[in-house]
Amino acid sequence: MPIEADNLVKRYGDLTAVDRVSLRVADGEIFGLTGPDGAGKSSLFRMLTTLVRPDEGSGRVAGFDIRTDYLEIRKRIGYMPDVFSLYEDLSVRENLHFFARVFGVRVKENYHLIREVYEPLKPFERRRAGKLSGGMKQKLALACALIHQPEALFLDEPTTGVDAVSRKEFWDILYRIRARGVAILVATPYMDEAARCDRLGLMQDGRLMVQGAPQELIAQYPHHLYAFRAHQAYRYLELLRRHPRVHRAVLAGEAVHVSSLAPLDPEDMRQYLREAGIMDFAFEPAAPDIEDVFIALVDQQQPQTQEA
């Protein structure tokens, strides 16, 4: 396995940033990590990329121990940190060539590895990296992380602050990299991106609460879910929450996702809403998505680690 973590623990003072996290990422697999800010995703990344030492537990990347063989690991991984970390005062081309040299390769020889990422940047080669748009910065960072043919790719929230079109392009590129057999660990705050991963882990308070294929996770959804749709649906959140059998009501795009611990009769709910004076709305059973699963898990506050 290119990426393995076994009960990794990282503490900063009293705070346990990463709490006994175990995961495996296989060749040609995209493993997504999602969870709120401060859940410990970046700390986990820093341990696996050998930037920080774990306090407990062990890990192997590209077959080498993250505690002892970090110099070997560093040759074999690509890392995109959670903030844009290239030289803003160097041009696109200068950044790429510099990082290629740092990893002991030449752009010319390895250009095939980054062609699909770098080609859109070609017209802007002479532009300073700091003057690129979010989407282009992220492509450049990915190109720099890929140029030395890494066996494992660590992408820490690579699409934060990037427009929707660029995000889609980015994922298309990730799929192509995956097809070359690279193991990819990617953190994302976006649930739609999380759903695109082969497997997914949900992190909260340093713990990996659950992991599995997105569909498996959705299948484990413990509650009953309904969607409420209306003009300006968010105005009725409080009303929905006041209903005694509603467990939770949260915004999901334009709609409100309403969950309950036991099945609801939609017709009862419609009646309740009409009595409250809402006329034009829909209330239907709905299929949970990753976000619903995550919210339910956080609610339970009973972290469970499952091997998928």
Partner 1 sequence: MAGIFWAFVKKEFFHILRDRRTLFIMLGMPFALVLLFGYAVTTDFKHASVAVFDQSRDAWSQRLVARIQAGGYFSLAAEVDDIASVERLFRQGRIKMAVVIPPHFGESLMQCERVPLQLLTDGSEPNIATTLVSYFNDISMRFLDELARANGTELQPLISLEPRMVYNPALKSVFMFVPGVIAVVLMLISAMLTSLSIAREKERGTLNLLLISPLPPLLIIIGKVLPYVLLSFFNALAIIGMGMGVFGMRMLGSWPFLLLSCLLFIVTALSLGLFISTRVQTQQTAMFASLMGLMLPTVLLSGYIFPIESMPLPLQVVSNVTPAKWFIILLKGIMLKGAGLEVLWLPVVVLCGMALFFLLISWKNFKLHVE
Binding site for partner 1 (CB under 8 A): 46, 49-53, 70-71, 74-75, 77, 79, 81, 83-90, 94, 97-99, 101-104, 144
Indicate the residue among 104 and 277 with the shorter CB distance to partner 1: 104
Classify 154 as helix, strand or coil.
Answer: strand
Q: How far apart are CA 208 and CA 43, in angstroms?
A: 13
Is the Cβ–Cβ distance between 103 and 75 less than 8 Å? Answer: yes
> For residues 73 and 233, which CB has a smaller minimum distance to partner 1 in the complex?
73
**Strand ranges, E, within the chain:** 3-12, 15-25, 30-34, 56-61, 64-65, 77-80, 152-156, 183-187, 199-204, 207-212, 224-230, 248-252, 255-260, 281-285
Distances in Å between the alpha carbon of 127 and those of 102, 137, 260?
A: 21, 11, 54
Nearer to partner 1 by Cβ, of 34 and 50: the residue is 50
Q: How far apart are alpha carbons 153 and 182 in whole angstroms?
A: 7
Nearer to partner 1, 144 or 155 (CB): 144
As measured in angstroms, the least distance from the Cβ of 126 to partner 1 is 13
Question: Which is it for the CA torsion 79, 17, 40, 129, positive or negative?
Answer: negative
CA gyration radius, the chain: 22
What is d(CA 130, CA 141) in angstroms, rounded to the nearest whole number?
12
CB of 240 to partner 1, least distance (A): 43
Smallest separation, CB 128 to partner 1 (Å): 8
Residue among 41 and 223 whose Cβ is closer to partner 1 = 41
Residues 6 or more apart from 124 whose CB is under 8 A from it?
92, 132, 136
> From the CB of 149, what's the least distance to partner 1, in Å?
13
Contact 28, 181 (CB under 8 A): yes
Nearer to partner 1, 75 or 235 (CB): 75
Q: Which is nearer to partner 1, 140 or 296 (CB)?
A: 140
Q: Minimal distance in Å, beta carbon 101 to partner 1?
A: 4
Q: Kindly state the smallest distance separating residue 138's Cβ from partner 1, in Å.
A: 14
Q: Minimum Å distance from CB 100 to partner 1?
A: 9
Residue 150 or 303: which CB sits closer to partner 1? Answer: 150
DSSP 124: G
Instruction: Point out which residues pair with 31 in neighbouring strands.
Output: 185, 199
Closest distance between partner 1 and the C-beta of residue 154, in Å? 9
- Give the pairing of strands 30-34 and 224-230: unpaired
